[in-house]
Amino acid sequence: VKDVKVGIVGASGYSGAVCAAILSRHRELELAFATSDKAAGEPLAPRLGLPDDVCKLQLLPHEAAEALAKDVDAVVLATSAELSMGLALKLAEHTRVVDLSGAFRLDAASYPKWYGFEHRAVPALDEAFYGLPDLFGAPPKEARIVANPGCYATAALLAIAPLFRDELAFSDRVIIDGKSGVTGAGRKSDEAYSFVELAEDVRAYRVGAHQHTPEIARYLHRYVHGVRPRVTFTPHLLPLRRGLVVTAYMTARDDATTEKVQASLAASYEGAPFVRVVPVDRVRAHDVAGTPFALVGATVTEGTIVSICAIDNLMKGAASQAVQNLNLWLGCDERAGLDSLPRFAP
């Protein structure tokens, strides 16, 4: 039993389960409890593919979380945005909260349009820290809520933020073309997500209407003051299970070259343990599947910067980034629980 304890609310969805699996083998953090609306009462280990002796927890109902929150150092929320909004508020009275949903990422006025509900926790929203450590560093000790970034927003910001900051791109607009595997949509009992419908298909969805659009715009602006490009974001659904690639297009300033954009990325991510800068043609979903890594690379062609980022949507796009935030926030090694994951997986 380790000294620092964390709990998870929502451990039966894809992101929550991956996060629980990482925490079950974390050498510095102890997974103290896990809840699930659908699977309360069941043992957690078999759902994670873990031997029984690695994880002996039983899933509890969500309602158990508030009482247990008092005894842990942090709680991860892997719940829907609307549910997270209320839960985070309650739990943050007792402990630190890392929220995987979109409930604490935008300004209050944006919620009706992009998430379909009124935000009813505005002070907490204003104080929440956006947990993209490779750009914004560690969550401050005094923070109560860390908003874990969206999967597309993570990849898009990693691909574009340094290039705007280093004034290699004009700041009027950015085009972001996203491609994601189907776990990005969460667990679904829906014919649209059946093997028959998705295998051998590719299509755009929520064109001009995806909720990660304002998230990208907001945190790009926060990273590079004064820069507020119009963001056009088009996500596409692909026949793979895990993996997400974002291809971003920016208008190159005159002096931008492939060497300079690669140098800008390399300098930005020099100390980032989970971001690797590679030639643009070597950025691929295959190489990050099941790992906490992002691959980023860019080039300049026809006056346009093409910058591409690949991540595993459930890892750097959700669960491993949450653990990275926990590590930094709770004073662990940033790599703890994550450094033994990458493995050869053809």
At 95, give phi and psi (nearest 5°). -160, 180
Q: Least CB distance from residue 344 to a copy of itself, whole Å?
A: 4
DSSP 3-state assignment of 65?
A: helix
> Which member of 133, 149, 150, 181 binds a copy of itself (CB under 8 A)?
181
Distance of alpha carbon 12 from alpha carbon 62, whole angstroms = 11
> Which member of 8, 124, 310, 330 binds a copy of itself (CB under 8 A)?
310
How many Cα atoms occupy the beta-carbon half-sphere of 345 within 13 Å? 11
**Is the distance from CB of 296 to CB of 159 less than 8 angstroms?**
yes
Q: Least CB distance from residue 74 to a copy of itself, whole Å?
A: 20
The reply to whether 302 sits near a copy of itself by the rule CB under 8 A is yes
Please give the biggest Cα pair distance in the chain.
61
Q: Least CB distance from residue 248 to a copy of itself, whole Å?
A: 10
Count other C-beta atoms under 10 Å from residue 206's C-beta: 13
Q: Least CB distance from residue 142 to a copy of itself, whole Å?
A: 32
Q: Using CB under 8 A, which residues numbered 239 to 298 contact a copy of itself?
A: 239-243, 245, 247, 249, 251, 273, 280-281, 283-287, 289-291
The smaller minimum CB distance to a copy of itself, of residues 145 and 310, is found at 310
**Is the distance from CB of 84 to CB of 97 less than 8 angstroms?**
no
Task: Tell the residue number behind the tokens 């190159």, with chain if given.
Answer: 252
Q: Using CB under 8 A, which residues numbered 81 to 120 contact a copy of itself?
A: none
Distance of alpha carbon 257 from alpha carbon 285, whole angstroms = 25
* Active site (annotated) includes residue 332: no
> Which member of 306, 311, 318, 336 binds a copy of itself (CB under 8 A)?
306
> Which member of 47, 105, 119, 260 binds a copy of itself (CB under 8 A)?
47
Q: Catalytic residues, which ones? A: 151
